[in-house]
Structure 1
């Protein structure tokens, strides 16, 4: 039953989940690919598309409403100097790395839009970064699936419960990480 649900809705959930901060969803999809419920190359393609589209939307929002966003969200404004410094030091290739930097995964594309980085430059490097990101986190999920099977051995009757438990445990971790980022950003604006 669980495998049928994942096979039927998994790619859609992956796409939606990767629009904004989708590492956990992508790792779960990689695990699902290992179990044979999803196709790994398609997991990478869908995650790269979702992650890339989410960043393009954030970049566009930054170009269109950047100054208003900075005025409304001090935590975003606090990261502006960090992104400007990275952009000045590494130029456009930093777009690939920003999605791996804690605290800049969502803020980075917005701030690159505020910085008026040319759209074609952003889109090209963003697509490359999304593909690398999807490969890395999808592979981590796939390898986690391999390790889990080796550790769990012959308790296949519990795999649905374990998959659900993993998904439930990931949610508090995401909430904690988000709160921690907000607290750090709030302390940086004082």
Structure 2
């Protein structure tokens, strides 16, 4: 989660949790629940804000997809592989997908846009979203509230300067290894591939 989003939650309390849930997603709501445990704002307010943020952001993506299909943002979403997977799932299980896409990583934005381009009625989508957001938002706040101490401890443990150096070195090593693997896999033009 970005540092700015953390400050947004601390400064605006439950409203920040709702905005974080709408913009960023799961981690903002879980961290909002953890912050609520420390008494900075009401966990009930955070749960309500997470529900509202989740519901209205998906409704917005749905209506933008349905009314602005030629818009550049919608076109970029439709070009992603996750969008094609969403269309397949909608065709097979429209109601189940409308209810559950927010619980599947990667579908938070592509899901509502794909649904908007299907035959699912706006009213049906809204009703399924009410039920889905009512579980998702409060559930993640509860998770953060219940395990807030452990989450804070884990973040402090992992976010040390030594761990940051180790993570950066591991990332660079993986990138260099992948580039070398790719270089060996793709033959150079004009030279026959050995082996």
Q: Structure 2 residue aligned with 1:46, among 44, 49, 53? A: 49
Partner in structure 2 of residue 91 of structure 1: 94
Partner in structure 2 of residue 188 of structure 1: none
Partner in structure 1 of residue 128 of structure 2: 125
**What do you get for the CA RMSD once the two structures are aligned?**
3.0
Deviation at 1:136, TM superposition (A): 2.6
Name the CA distance, whole Å, in 2 between partners of 1:16 and 1:33: 15
Q: Does 1:72 align with 2:75?
A: yes
How many residue pairs end up in the alignment?
Answer: 152
- For structure 2, the 5+ residue unaligned runs are 1-7, 165-195
Name the CA distance, whole Å, in 2 between partners of 1:27 and 1:138: 5
Larger Rg: 2
1:70 to 1:35, Cα distance in 2 relative to 1, 3 A: closer
Q: How does 1:11-160 map to 2 (within 5 A)?
A: 11-69=14-72, 72-73=75-76, 76-147=79-150
| Structure ranking higher in helix proportion | 1
Name the CA distance, whole Å, in 2 between partners of 1:73 and 1:33: 36
Task: Answer with 15-24 or 65-74: which moved more.
Answer: 65-74
- For structure 1, the 5+ residue unaligned runs are 153-161, 170-190
- How does the TM-score come out when normalised to structure 1? 0.68
- How does the TM-score come out when normalised to structure 2? 0.66
Query: Relative contact order (alpha carbons < 8 A, sep ≥ 6): 1 or 2 greater?
Result: 1
3-state SS of 1:66 partner:
coil
Name the CA distance, whole Å, in 2 between partners of 1:79 and 1:145: 32
